[in-house]
Structure 1
């Protein structure tokens, strides 16, 4: 749980004196070991009253730099940084809103607003939190984003004819995450009811239960850098006609590829081929494993398991070339790894109750070689596939 900023803190941080103090703080080590010295240096610079605000901002800027473009000059809170949409994800979502009037009804510190303002016709943001709204005003200004800002409760509409963009809070102020739709702030059901009949884009946690959002015309699950980042529920015109579920994989510059449930899911079960493919988490989470497999001519090892196999993996993915395979037995696997001199082992598990870290310790491997073992079940048979990971 981070420092609790006040509006007075924000006003100071936006001042010339605050800017100078933040510039000086940015030169400090800002490590756990340097904490006492960093605090003393900032207190000498700005005094006791604003020292914590300056130091926290400097730390948060450094933490957010890989997530939020331009955040080295932004004002932030700890919770806002954790929940904020990564800039590349926000830009991807904004593309569907190009040329529209957009109202971000939970704008927080403005991370989403900055991306939307680049493509929207007109853009307005609102939030019930005065501190975050003041930070958003600063952040949008330094980013050159032309937006209107107003303090308002998301459940009390203050705009008409706009696409509603919302990101209900998933933390309770103590850093603990909330998962149930009714526990979000504002509650998901209340939010959707208030804006019924409006075009919407609602950011949700990646673990979203699709059955909990029957009102969504399309749910898009997005991953970035190999991690599933979020789900977005699209309602109305921004949704894609004929698509209920979509998985989108982003790279640093934007979309790499996408797959939807409008595509064929004609995917056979088959014996293991030359390669095993572990689909991106967005594909798995969106329930589109079979659609992805059909697109690339792959099959499933087992209809209940997400591992795919084939003789030619999709280009640009990390795939696993099968070296040996057979019924899984820990003693047999240990002997095989010793025979091959494997000392560095990646363990992938689906469908079996195996803790990879605990297994790695029990195997007691050593040697110069590196390998990946895929542990799963085919039918009722626990099966092990010894592989070599390759980027194809």
Structure 2
């Protein structure tokens, strides 16, 4: 759960003395091996606040992958839940030209991406103090309970906490703080966007007009539940695939989903996780002229993979068992082996140890189920 900051800690970290201590200790290794030495030196520089200083330095080193505040202040939980900047900016585009109220603004990471004039509130005074520091006084902030509306006639965005009182992650929307159903009820007449973990059960949120799953650089980062005027007419499910290095794209359930089920073809395609979690595998297949291997499995196949994805050129395929697969790997001189599994109860790491591949070639083995048949596909991964 990390260090529990107090308001006095935040005041110190923002003071001239605190800034001097952070600067003086910025070169600490902060590794498990250096912990005792780091603590000893920090006690010498900031005897009353050494723990707050050390935690802040550690969190600042983790922060750039998510937020880019200069000399930011964070709690461990707040940083873990913060949205990567590219995802926050993607979400904020739906609010273009509108003032927005972030009712769970925490340390201000998502609020920083919202349109100018937006406001923030939170019930935690420590996080609010950190947000004031991080946002440099540019955004109006107030202490308020998200379940007691303090604004009117503006859209609302919320990011409920997803850990229980013991700090354990929870996936049940009823256990979020605040709970999803109570949050939806509090803003029933307002345009509302709620950020959620992508693994949540969205069937318990029938009030959401559109559910969007968002990935960044191949990793599913969040789901967003959109209501009323923020939702897209005719769309109930959307997958948005963002990339730091290339174009981003989106797909919705308003698109056709006609796709056949065929035996393995020249290529195997594993759709982005946002597409899979949004239930849009068939729509993605129809867009790119692909087929399913099995109507219940998310692997796709076809003569040509979509551009800009990591796809697998199929070398051979057949009925899977360990003995036959061991022979296939030996015949193809495979030593460096990636194992992907979907639809079968197989532990890739345990299987690799049992197979003991020892050749000089590199390959990927995809293990899946086609109908009731356990199937292997030997393939070479390529970037299209």
Shift, 1:281, TM fit: 0.4
Note if contact 2:172-2:201 (Cα within 8 Å) is conserved in structure 1.
no
Shift, 1:24, TM fit: 2.2
> Aligned partners of 1:85 and 1:279: how far apart in 2?
23
Question: What is the DSSP-based 3-state SS (H/G/I as helix, E as strand, rest coil) of the residue aligned with 1:374?
Answer: strand
> Aligned partners of 1:386 and 1:202: how far apart in 2?
42
Question: What is the DSSP-based 3-state SS (H/G/I as helix, E as strand, rest coil) of the residue aligned with 2:118?
Answer: strand
Partner of 1:306: 298
Partner of 2:28: 28
Note if contact 1:88-1:254 (Cα within 8 Å) is conserved in structure 2.
no
Question: What is the DSSP-based 3-state SS (H/G/I as helix, E as strand, rest coil) of the residue aligned with 2:230?
Answer: coil
Partner of 1:129: 124
Could you tell which deviates more after superposition, 207-216 or 248-257?
248-257
Cα deviations by residue, 1:172-210 (Å, 9 ceiling, x for unpaired): 253311111111101111111011110011001101222
> How do residues 89-100 of structure 1 correspond to structure 2 at under 5 angstroms?
89-100=87-98
Shift, 1:253, TM fit: 6.7
Note if contact 2:164-2:175 (Cα within 8 Å) is conserved in structure 1.
no
> Aligned partners of 1:3 and 1:255: how far apart in 2?
39
Distance change >3 Å, CA 6–CA 151, structure 1 → 2: same
Could you tell which deviates more after superposition, 301-310 or 251-260?
251-260
> Aligned partners of 1:124 and 1:3: how far apart in 2?
28
Note if contact 2:104-2:160 (Cα within 8 Å) is conserved in structure 1.
yes
2:360 aligned with 1:368, yes or no?
yes
Partner of 1:63: 62
Note if contact 1:274-1:322 (Cα within 8 Å) is conserved in structure 2.
yes
2:342 aligned with 1:344, yes or no?
no
2:45 aligned with 1:53, yes or no?
no
Shift, 1:25, TM fit: 2.2
Question: What is the DSSP-based 3-state SS (H/G/I as helix, E as strand, rest coil) of the residue aligned with 1:106?
Answer: coil
> How do residues 243-262 of structure 1 correspond to structure 2 at under 5 angstroms?
243-252=235-244, 256-262=248-254
Query: What is the CA RMSD across the aligned residues, in angstroms?
Result: 1.2
Cα deviations by residue, 1:333-377 (Å, 9 ceiling, x for unpaired): 111112222111111111111111111111011122111011111
Partner of 2:212: 220
Select the residue among 278, 295, 302 that pairs with 1:286.
278
Provide the aligned length of Structure 1 versus Structure 2: 384
Note if contact 1:264-1:291 (Cα within 8 Å) is conserved in structure 2.
yes
Question: What is the DSSP-based 3-state SS (H/G/I as helix, E as strand, rest coil) of the residue aligned with 1:65?
Answer: helix
Shift, 1:276, TM fit: 0.1
2:73 aligned with 1:75, yes or no?
yes
Note if contact 2:316-2:379 (Cα within 8 Å) is conserved in structure 1.
yes
Shift, 1:146, TM fit: 2.6
Partner of 2:8: 8
Question: What is the DSSP-based 3-state SS (H/G/I as helix, E as strand, rest coil) of the residue aligned with 1:237?
Answer: helix
Partner of 1:274: 266
Shift, 1:121, TM fit: 4.6
Note if contact 1:373-1:384 (Cα within 8 Å) is conserved in structure 2.
yes
TM-score, reference length from structure 1: 0.96
TM-score, reference length from structure 2: 0.98
